[in-house]
Structure 1
Amino acid sequence: MSFSIPSKMKAWIYYEYGGVEVLKFESEVAEPEVKDDQVLIKVVAAAINPSDCKRRLGQFKDIYPPPPTVPGYDVGGVVVKVGSQVKGLKEGDEVYGDINERSRVHERPKQFGALAEYTAVEERLLALKPKNLDFAQAASLPVAILTAYEGLESAGFSAGKSVLVLGGAGGVGSLVIQIAKQVFGASKVAATSSTGKLELLKSLGADLAIDYTKENFEDLPEKFDVVYDAVEPGDRAVKAVKEGGSVVVISGAATPPGFFFRVYSDGEILKKLNPFLESGKVKPVLDPKGPYPFNKVNEAFRYLETNRATGKVVIFPINP
């Protein structure tokens, strides 16, 4: 199978740090170079994350290279070219993954992300797309599902333990509920959301849905083995954890026994989770305002930054 790959393509780029207004939609961007351990993906769908916003605002400038940057971590698409060292993927494979490698020994953030018609990605960061999911659903998953799984694993979560998920209707929180129950075998899952999203929490498997606009979770008589804070850290979370338990914090500073957790991109974990996705035990949650078309990425970011999204905000189609 061979693919016709254009030398120029469309992509979103920012050349300076700033708000949504610095994003530019360009049509004459050079196709990225493919290294020996990479594949070139024809991007069909992508998802956007708060980390994209923080990077664009310059919050990661001490560790990430400066602009110009094509944003986007989450990708779903088709392999159209393979590097000489690639062993497990071939042209025509439908794949998904978090394209920015963060490993325990090094960090290699890409300046060329997923919000482009083509992007180059290391084979080790990718997995075959679950057969029952479309590209938009698959692209919504990688960062959030890796964050959910690795956060619970880092907290020592295991079968029979209980968890409270703060922000259960968000991109990460909606998957923490499902991963805790279906993959780890939680004895009880509680989660918080606003009034209109309580039924969603229950549909995802939450045993207890807490309306944070009417009830303070820290006042519950019951305490939890793990509190997974998928919103913003604060001292409140530690008041809901059992003695000897832990609090997973994915943004900002953590109050002990909380710990700040950073996700690592890993295609092997996606492969491990694929059976749960293909069986329907774990389902992607996409915000109903989407998907946003490729030429409306700036509008998608404006919406994401309202902090009102349910599940993930997806861009589709990029390459119809």
Structure 2
Amino acid sequence: MATTKSPNTDSTITIPTHTKAWFYSEHGKPSDVLKLHPNWSIPQLKDDQVLIKVVAASLNPVDYKRMHGMFKDNDPHLPVSDERLLAHKPKNLSFIEAASIPLAMETAYEGLERLGLSAGKSILVLGGAGGVGTYVIQLAKHVFGASKIGATSSTGKIEFLRKLGVDLPIDYTKENFEDLPEKFDVVYDLVGETFKS
């Protein structure tokens, strides 16, 4: 165990020298490459790095893509984070809630910016009941000022879309969104639909 002063208080923090850790040292299927180390050494940190105690984590498509080697050229496998990429957890969120938000929210927001969504434009969200889709809907409505929001989901999630503020919920098991008479200024595709030409 090592001790250090907390930067924001006069209290002392005890930092372990070892911990349990899931890791992978080569790319491949998780069942082949992911391993549990029962006594992983805590790394020595550089001045611009911080040690993170994981209380809750979320897994996103980018995580399995990274493990499968899709980002080999820029994936250093470092067990520490650059401090400029971090933010404090809001006090009104649990660790589980806070872990689930950042990547999905960033993906939703950046996509809407790239689409050029602005006040008065309409949007169709394909896959509206998923993690990113729910943020796309809320951001489109409350931040970007969309005039009309349509979204697809399965039958059981149609009411959920309505509660999020979707004007035109579309049950993709019963309707083909391409056959609808309504037209939209932009389409945010979260499922990789193939459009008819």
Normalised to the residue count of structure 1, the TM-score between the two structures is: 0.54
Out of 8, 12, 18, the position equivalent to 1:2 is: 12
- In the other structure, the counterpart of 1:112 is 78
Where does residue 38 of structure 1 map in the other structure?
49
Map of 1:291 onto structure 2: none
Distance in 1 separating the partners of 2:179 and 2:60: 31
Distance 1:58 1:152, change over 3 A: same
Residues in 2 aligned to 1:214 and 1:164: alpha-carbon distance in whole angstroms: 17
State the shift of 1:34 in Å: 2.5
Aligned residue in 2 for 1:82: none
* Rounded Cα–Cα distance in structure 2 between residues aligned with 1:34 and 1:160: 49
List runs of 5+ in structure 1 lacking aligned partners.
66-109, 114-119, 240-320
Matched residue count:
186
Give the aligned partner of residue 138 of structure 1.
98
Q: In structure 1, the residue corresponding to 2:21 is in which secondary structure? A: strand
Q: CA RMSD in A?
A: 1.8
Give 1:121 deviation, angstroms.
Answer: 2.3
Give, in angstroms, the shift of residue 19 of structure 1. Answer: 2.1
Structure 1 pair 221/141, CA: closer, same or farther in 2 (3 Å)? same
For the structure 1 residues 39 and 15, does the alpha-carbon distance in structure 2 shift closer, same or farther, using more than 3 Å as the test? closer
- Quick check: 1:223 aligned with 2:183? yes
CA distance in 2, matches of 1:202, 1:139: 25
Match of 1:100 in 2: none
Task: Indicate if the aligned counterparts of 1:148 and 1:175 stay in contact, CA closer than 8 A.
Answer: yes
SS of 1:43's equivalent in the other structure is coil
Residues 33, 188 of structure 1: alpha-carbon distance in 2 compared, 3 angstrom cutoff: farther
User: For the residues of structure 2 that align with 1:234 and 1:50, how far apart are their CA atoms?
Assistant: 20
Distance 1:34 1:206, change over 3 A: farther
Deviation for aligned residue 1:133: 1.1
Instruction: Tell me how far apart the structure 2 counterparts of residues 153 and 12 of structure 1 sit (CA, whole Å).
Output: 35
Say yes or no: does 1:167 pair with 2:177.
no
Higher helix share: 2
- Aligned AA for 2:14? S
Which stretches in structure 2 are left out of the alignment for 5+ residues? 1-10
Q: Please identify the structure whose Cα radius of gyration is greater.
A: 2
Higher relative contact order (CA 8 A, sep 6+): 1
Question: By how many angstroms is 1:233 displaced?
Answer: 4.8
Q: 2:118 matched to which residue of 1?
A: 158
CA distance in 2 between counterparts of 1:227 and 1:39 reads 39
Measure the CA separation in 1 of the matches of 2:134 and 2:27: 30
The residue aligned with 2:69 is 58
Task: Name segments (4+ residues, structure 1) moved above 3 Å.
Answer: none
Distance, in Å, in 2 between the alignment partners of 1:162 and 1:197 is 21
Secondary structure class of the residue paired with 1:197: helix
CA distance in 1: counterparts of 2:46 and 2:119, whole angstroms = 41
1:196 pairs with 153, 156, 159, which one?
156
TM-score (norm 2): 0.86
- Partner-residue secondary structure (3-state), 1:44: coil
Could you tell me how far 1:128 is from its partner in structure 2?
A: 2.3
**DSSP 3-state at the match of 1:47:** coil
Q: Between Structure 1 and Structure 2, which shows a larger proportion of strand residues? A: 1
Answer whether contact 1:32 1:112 (CA < 8 A) is retained.
Answer: no
Q: Secondary structure at the match of 1:9?
A: strand
* Match of residue 39, structure 2, among 25, 28, 47: 28
> CA shift at 1:224, angstroms?
1.2
Equivalent position to 2:27, from 6, 14, 17? 17
CA distance in 2, matches of 1:8, 1:184: 46
SS state at 1:127 partner = coil
Identity across the alignment (%): 62
Task: Report Cα offsets for 1:72-114 as digits up to 9, x if no partner.
Answer: xxxxxxxxxxxxxxxxxxxxxxxxxxxxxxxxxxxxxx5135x
